[in-house]
Amino acid sequence: MLKVGRLADYAVLILHHLGRMRPARLAMDSIAEVTHLPLPTVRKVMKYLVDADLVISKRGPNGGYQLARPPAQVSLAEAIAAVEGPLALTECCSAQGNCEIHDRCDLADRWPGVNAIVVKVLERTSLADLDRFGRHEPHVPPPLRELMAPVRHL
């Protein structure tokens, strides 16, 4: 668990494809076809991406979608947030979070710290970086051990 929604997953998938095509424009039909996703679903996703200014759309004949920025400048955090809103592991990590216990909860001011780290990881991983990842271990470099930082033990 701790999964990202399907739609957000698709968003990344689509953005990645658009990145490989850039700066070419790609019609929605083509996107649906190449990603093997149902077209109505793609429609919904594209709306999110346009609203978030991650892609540029053009109507009319020969229209389509185009990645707004180079793939290296689009983070996974942005992609996910475009669909699901700001990343927040718990209610107390988001502004409009309403948790009844919040006032009496010992961890209310601790979770945001954890959240910040996770967000940072996703912010620093771009679409282009995905290509560098292999299966499982993403070539965890030695410095990572200390990088985790706040995060000691084991």
Partner DNA sequence: CAATTGTATACCCCGTTAGTATTGAATGCG
Partner DNA sequence: CGCATTCAATACTAACGGGGTATACAATTG
Contacted entry of ligand SF4, DNA, a copy of itself, none for residue 102, CB cut-off 5 to 8 Å set by kind = ligand SF4
d(CA 110, CA 92): 9
Query: Any bridge partners for residue 67, and if so which?
Result: 55
Q: Which is nearer to ligand SF4, 16 or 25 (CB)?
A: 16
**Using rule CB under 7 A, residue 41 touches DNA:** yes
Among 59, 72, 47, 73, CA closest to 131: 72
* Residue 97 makes contact with DNA by CB under 7 A: no
* Inter-CA distances, 24 with 65, 67, 69, Å: 8, 9, 12
Q: For residue 77, give the 3-state DSSP assignment.
A: helix
Among 108, 116, 122, 128, binds ligand SF4 (CB under 6 A): 108
Q: What does the block give as tokens for 59?
A: 């109507």
Given ligand SF4, DNA, a copy of itself, none, residue 38, with its beta carbon under 5 to 8 Å by kind, binds DNA
| Residue 102 binds ligand SF4, judged by CB under 6 A | yes
Strand ranges (DSSP E) for the chain? Answer: 55-58, 64-67
Binding site partner of 23, from a copy of itself, DNA, ligand SF4, none, Cβ cut-off 5-8 A by kind:
none
Print burial letters for 73-84: b (CB count within 10 Å at least 16), e (below 16): ebbbbbbbbbbe
Site for DNA in 52-91 (CB under 7 A): 57-65, 84
Residues that bind ligand SF4 (CB under 6 A): 9, 13, 90-92, 99, 101-102, 105, 107-108, 111
Residues that bind DNA (CB under 7 A): 1, 5-8, 10, 27-29, 38, 40-41, 43-44, 46-47, 50-51, 57-65, 84
